[in-house]
Amino acid sequence: MRSSCLATAALLALGSLGATAHAAEPKPLDCLGPVQHESPAPGSAEWQQRDADNMACARQRIDDFAQQPAALFTPGKTPALDAYRNPASHADKRFRYTEASTPSASGKPIAVEIYRPCAAGTCTGMPAGLKTFEPPYPAVVIVHGGYSSKRLHRSAAQVLAEAGYMTIALETTAPMGTHGPDAQSVVDWVFATPKAPLAGDGTPFFPHWDQLDVRMVGIAGHSQGGSTASLIGQADKRIGAIVAWDNLTALKTGWVDKIGMDPPADLALRTPALGIGADYYFKVVPTTEAPEPAKVNTQGGRGRGGEPHPKDPGYQELKSAGMDTMLVVLRAGTHLDFSLFGGPASRYGESVINYYTLAWFDRYLKGAHDPALAADAFRRLTAPTFDDSADRHNISQGMYDQAVAGDSVLKGNRPYLVGGTPVRDRLSFYYQSRCAITQPGRSVRVASEDMRAAGCR
C-alpha cells in the first residue's frame, strides 16, 4: 500500500474501531509503564495478551477525543483537529504567527503558516517555562503528507517555535504528486531576499528574511512529506538536518514515492537524518508473528503497511554512508500519532515525537554553532530517561478536567507527559529502534541496533 488518503483512511479506521474502542478492559491497562510480558513466544497466550494491550494503547486517543468538551468542536462533527493548537489562541503569547503565500514552480501560490519565536517585548502573558529568543533564527520547513494539511502539524511547528526555531509549514498545491516541487519552491523562497527575489505569483521573497540564520535551515515531513524531506534534505546543500515522521526513505534503493521528483543518480548522502516510525499504519491490527527479521518488503524501504517488512532501509542506507542517523519506533504508535487527526493514536506518541524532533534539530542545526547546546542535545538523544525538554511545550489533547477549567476550556486540558519515564518503555517491542550518531566535537560514534534492549551508547 502506497501513500493513501489520510482523512478517508482515518475515518474508516474510526468506524472499524467503534465497537471496540470503549470495550471493558479485562484488567487495568498500563500504556506508560513496562509491558507485562517482555519476551513471549509468538502465538502464546502471553503474546496474544501483550498484543491486545498494545492495540488498546494505540486507540486511547480516540477515547480522549470523545471526552473533550463540546465547546471545542463543531456540534455533530467528528473532531479532525486538536483545538488546543489553534494558532489564534496562542499567537503573541507562546509564539508569533503569520500567514503568507509563496511562488511555486507551477505558478500556483503555496499557502504557508509561519511561526516565529517570541523576542523580548513582542509577546505578553508568556507561560512559565517558556522564554524569548532574539533573531536571527534557525528555520525548519514542514511538509505534510498525501491528502493531508499543514494544519495537522501545528504541534511540531509550535513546539519548535517556542524552542527558538522559525517554522514554515506549507500546503501543497495538489493533494498528491506535487510534494517535491512545492517543498523545493518553499525552501527556495525561504532563502529569497529583496535583493534576490523569486519570480511568480505570491510574495517574491521571504517576509522575515532579515530574521533568518541561513546557516541553520532544516526540513521535516510526515508520510509522503517524510519522503520529500528525505530527498530534498539530501539534494539541497542548504539543508542542514532532516526529520522524517513515519517515512525515512531509502533514496538509492527501492524508491517508490510519486512526489513529482526522483533522486538523481549521482545523489550524495550528506545530511544527518532522524526517522520516527510506529507500530501501526492507519489501522490497528493484530501482530501474529515477530515482524523482525522481515520476510517481505512491499514498501520500497519506507517501512509502512499491513504486513511485516523492514522499517529501517533509510536508516541503514545513511548509516552505511557514514551519516549520523537514528530510527525511533513508537510503542503502540500509529501513522496518526504524527498529526492532529481524530483517529487511532497513542497517548504518549506526540510527546516522544516532539522530544526527539527538538533534540535532533538542536544537535544538528543550532548545535552546529553552539557546542554547549550540541552536547545537551546529544545527551537527550542518548539518555535512558526522558527529561521535560519537550513536555514544557506540550499543550495538546490529554485528559480533560472540568474542575480546573474555570472560564476557559483550554485550562482544563491535562496533556500526557513523558518526562522522568524510561525511554525503553516508549519504544516498540516489535520493531527495533536504532542509532548511529557521533559525539559533538569528536569522531567517536555511538551506535545501537536495538535501543530498547541496549540504549544508544
Local confidence band at 343 (pLDDT 50, 70, 90 cut-offs): confident
pLDDT higher than threshold 50 for residue 17: no
pLDDT higher than threshold 90 for residue 27: no
Report the pLDDT averaged over residues 296-322.
83
pTM for the predicted model, two decimal places: 0.93
pLDDT higher than threshold 50 for residue 11: no
Closest CA to 304 of 282, 337, 273: 282
What pLDDT sits at residue 360?
98
Task: Give me the residue label for grid cell 520516527.
Answer: 276
What pLDDT sits at residue 106?
87
Local confidence band at 69 (pLDDT 50, 70, 90 cut-offs): confident
pLDDT in tens, 350-398: 999 999 999 999 999 999 999 999 999 999 999 999 999 999 999 987 8
Least confident of 5-9, 42-46, 257-261: 5-9
What pLDDT sits at residue 8?
40
Closest CA to 65 of 87, 80, 86: 80
What pLDDT sits at residue 298?
72
Separation CA 243–CA 170 (nearest Å): 16
The residues that bridge with 325 in the sheet, in sequence order, are: 273, 436
Local confidence band at 13 (pLDDT 50, 70, 90 cut-offs): very low
Report the pLDDT averaged over residues 27-38.
91
Chain center to CA of 413: 22
pLDDT higher than threshold 70 for residue 214: yes
Q: Are 358 and 389 in contact (CB under 8 A)?
A: yes
Domain-by-domain residue ranges, the chain?
A: 6-454
pLDDT in tens, 123-178: 999 999 999 999 999 999 999 999 999 999 999 999 999 999 999 999 999 999 99
Q: Are 118 and 345 in contact (CB under 8 A)?
A: no
Report the pLDDT averaged over residues 213-222.
98
133 vs 71, which has greater pLDDT? 133
Q: What is the dihedral of CA 80, 403, 390, 55, to 10 degrees?
A: -50
What pLDDT sits at residue 319?
97
Local confidence band at 80 (pLDDT 50, 70, 90 cut-offs): low
399 vs 454, which has greater pLDDT? 454
Least confident of 59-73, 117-131, 342-356: 59-73
Q: Apex CA 385: angle with CA 158 and CA 415, to 5°?
A: 40
pLDDT higher than threshold 70 for residue 320: yes
6-454 has which fold? Rossmann fold (3.40.50)
Burial class (CB in 10 A: 0-12, 13-18, 19+), 244: buried
Separation CA 158–CA 151 (nearest Å): 11
| Helix, strand, or coil (residue 412) | helix
What pLDDT sits at residue 115?
98
Q: Are 88 and 96 in contact (CB under 8 A)?
A: no
Local confidence band at 35 (pLDDT 50, 70, 90 cut-offs): very high
Report the pLDDT averaged over residues 222-235.
97
Q: Are 262 and 187 in contact (CB under 8 A)?
A: no
Mean pLDDT for the chain overall: 90
Spell out the residues 6+ positions from residue 322 whose beta carbon is closer than 8 angstroms to its own. none
- Amino acid letter at 452? R
Separation CA 224–CA 373 (nearest Å): 31
